[in-house]
């Protein structure tokens, strides 16, 4: 359940292609959304899996939601989980972990 800012963005983030399961292999896929970090990136089609994190929506120019990357690491640390060594819980692999936090 991810709400992107507008229809143009949603259709770009959710490109589903018959020929490529992997968005990095598909020339039609431009935007990668990391649900865990709430980050958007431009896919670099160099044969690898790199992307450039962006701060504004390319289609409507609105500011993107703040990245939750720092908080993601903080919350794992608070639970005593080392993301490099331990298994990352399923709720941290998408945006579910955000709903478990106290709202501020
Ligand atoms: Zn938009
Ligand atoms: Zn494709």
Residues that place a CB less than 5 A from ion ligand 2: 17, 19-20, 26, 28
Long-range CB contact pairs, 8-11, < 8 A, 24+: 8/59, 8/60, 9/57, 9/59, 9/60
What whole-number distance in Å separates Cα of residue 16 and Cα of residue 8?
A: 14
CA of 101 from ligand 1 middle (Å) equals: 26
- pTM to 2 decimal places: 0.81
Look at residue 3 in the predicted model and tell me its pLDDT: 75
Bridge-based pairing of strands 31-34 and 39-43 is antiparallel
Tokens describing residue 5:
């800012």
For residue 25, the CA-to-ligand 2 centroid distance in Å is 7
Cα 40 vs. chain centroid, distance in angstroms?
5
Note down pLDDT in tens along the chain; length 104 residues: 457 888 889 888 878 899 998 889 999 999 999 999 999 999 999 999 999 999 998 889 999 989 999 999 999 999 999 999 999 999 999 999 998 877 66
Whole-number pLDDT of residue 1:
42
- Residue 104: its pLDDT value, please? 60
């Amino acid at each position: 359940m991810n709400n992107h800012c507008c229809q143009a963005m949603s259709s770009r983030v959710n490109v589903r292609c018959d020929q490529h399961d992997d968005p990095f292999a598909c020339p039609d896929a431009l935007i990668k959304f990391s649900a865990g970090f709430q980050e958007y990136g431009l896919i670099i089609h160099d044969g690898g899996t790199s992307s450039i994190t962006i701060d504004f929506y390319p289609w409507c120019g609105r500011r993107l939601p703040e990245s939750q990357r720092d908080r993601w690491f903080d919350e794992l640390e608070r639970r005593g989980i080392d993301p490099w060594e331990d298994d990352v819980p399923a709720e941290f692999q998408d945006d579910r972990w955000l709903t478990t936090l106290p709202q501020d």
